């Protein structure tokens, strides 16, 4: 599909690297393509960044047919820009779309839109350590209709934000609050989709955790609140007795993180034993007590690998040991970060040119 480009007449300056933060600044342009029943995707264009016009009856505003993705583009030492695992993100966007009865976009259209946008806004690519362009595709049901059924019109939009570190301040171990009464997702629900609905479901507990002095919520299984599912915007990992364990995906309640998959692959590359299985808070308590719990961390596109120092809940807590020198989690974080900027070999072909 041909993508038209309309350039802004008032380009802005990218803020200094140390002022970027996460998701606060946006580049000069966005990509948009529309979908109508019977017509499919049409009118792909890069246009100046600006507000979207939505009919007040647009069904996304009422019934939440709204999904998103999040991937990053990095600057290599030679100045070129490369996307990290864009095809995995495109596949996950289509999986979310199927679950929400929205049209699939398909990798070729999504990635040609992302590439055209990134080339148009190439001057926004920061270069300092830990910086990147965060690419945020999202799809919204635009049909003005108040009946409850899948909409017949959608817009896929991609915006881009130059970003620094996700968690403010110097790297530190996160304090995590395990939620033993509320739930984010139940088996059969939307948990595996990157649906906006999952994030609004998480806000109340996340705000309470913040007031208590915690960084993020650890979600447990909705039925018994025993098995670990995922952290606010990260998948959960622990190293117990030398084995790296992470919750398995089959219940369909957690997001299949691209970083999760990358970290599992790097573990296998190093010959580290990995297990994708049920893991409970009780197991963390028991293994912390008998000394076999070695470390825990969260993984995600925004934060990469973030160490966890403490896990608390209503009525209990586990102090997670700080592995010497940052441990395996820190080693995996720096390997993955090096791969992303081209400073270490990309053995799995995860980087793709823009």
Smallest distance from the beta carbon of 300 to ligand PLP, in angstroms?
A: 4
Smallest distance from the beta carbon of 159 to ligand PLP, in angstroms?
A: 16
From the list 354, 33, 333, 32, the residue with the least C-alpha distance to 173 is 333
Verify binding: residue 300, ligand PLP, rule CB under 6 A: yes
Give the separation between CA 203 and CA 182, rounded to whole angstroms: 11
Give the separation between CA 228 and CA 313, rounded to whole angstroms: 12
Q: What SS3 state is found at 150?
A: coil
Q: Which is nearer to ligand PLP, 34 or 352 (CB)?
A: 352
Span between the terminal Cα atoms of the chain, in Å: 17
Q: Which is nearer to ligand PLP, 115 or 194 (CB)?
A: 194
Q: Among 233, 246, 253, 312, which residue sits at the site for ligand PLP (rule: CB under 6 A)? A: 233
Verify binding: residue 183, ligand PLP, rule CB under 6 A: no
Verify binding: residue 59, ligand PLP, rule CB under 6 A: no
Verify binding: residue 70, ligand PLP, rule CB under 6 A: yes
349 C-beta neighbours (distance < 10 Å), count = 8
Smallest distance from the beta carbon of 118 to ligand PLP, in angstroms?
A: 18
**Looking up tokens 């480009």, which residue turns up?**
5
Smallest distance from the beta carbon of 68 to ligand PLP, in angstroms?
A: 9
Verify binding: residue 159, ligand PLP, rule CB under 6 A: no
Helix residue spans in the chain (DSSP H): 59-63, 86-99, 107-120, 196-211, 258-269, 281-290, 327-340
Smallest distance from the beta carbon of 8 to ligand PLP, in angstroms?
A: 29
Verify binding: residue 259, ligand PLP, rule CB under 6 A: yes
32 with 176: CB under 8 angstroms? Answer: no
Using CB under 6 A as the criterion, which residues of the chain lie in contact with ligand PLP when the complex forms? 70, 230, 233-235, 255, 257-260, 299-301
């Amino acid at each position: 599909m041909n993508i038209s480009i309309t350039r802004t007449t008032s380009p802005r300056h990218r803020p200094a690297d140390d002022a970027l933060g996460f998701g606060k600044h946006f580049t000069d342009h966005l990509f948009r393509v529309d979908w109508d029943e019977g017509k499919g995707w049409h009118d792909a264009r890069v246009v100046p960044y600006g507000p979207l016009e939505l009919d007040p009856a647009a069904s996304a505003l009422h019934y939440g047919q709204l999904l998103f993705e999040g991937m990053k583009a990095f600057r290599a030492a030679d100045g070129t820009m490369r996307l990290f695992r864009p095809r995995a993100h495109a596949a996950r966007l289509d999986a979310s779309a199927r679950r929400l009865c929205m049209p699939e976009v398909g990798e070729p259209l999504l990635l040609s839109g992302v590439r055209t946008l990134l080339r148009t806004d190439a001057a926004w690519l920061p270069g300092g350590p830990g910086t990147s362009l965060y690419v945020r595709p999202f799809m919204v049901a635009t049909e003005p209709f108040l009946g409850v059924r899948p909409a017949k019109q959608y817009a896929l939009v991609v915006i881009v934000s130059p970003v620094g570190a996700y968690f403010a301040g110097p790297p530190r171990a996160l304090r995590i609050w395990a939620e033993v009464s509320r739930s984010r997702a139940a088996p059969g629900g939307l948990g595996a989709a990157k649906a906006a609905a999952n994030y609004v479901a998480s806000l109340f507990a996340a705000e309470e955790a913040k007031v208590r002095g915690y960084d993020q919520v650890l979600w447990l299984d909705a039925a018994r609140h025993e098995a670990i599912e995922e952290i606010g915007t990260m998948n959960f990992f622990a190293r117990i007795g030398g084995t790296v364990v992470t919750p398995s995906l089959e219940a369909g309640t957690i997001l299949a993180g691209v970083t999760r998959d990358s970290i599992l692959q790097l573990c296998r590359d190093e010959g580290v034993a990995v297990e994708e299985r049920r893991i409970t808070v009780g197991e963390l308590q028991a293994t912390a007590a008998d000394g076999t719990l070695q470390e825990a961390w969260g993984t995600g596109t925004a934060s990469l690998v973030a160490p966890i120092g403490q896990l608390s809940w209503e009525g209990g807590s586990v102090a997670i040991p700080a592995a010497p020198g940052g441990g395996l989690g820190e080693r995996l974080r720096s390997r993955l970060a090096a791969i992303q900027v081209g400073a270490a070999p990309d053995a799995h072909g995860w980087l793709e040119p823009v």
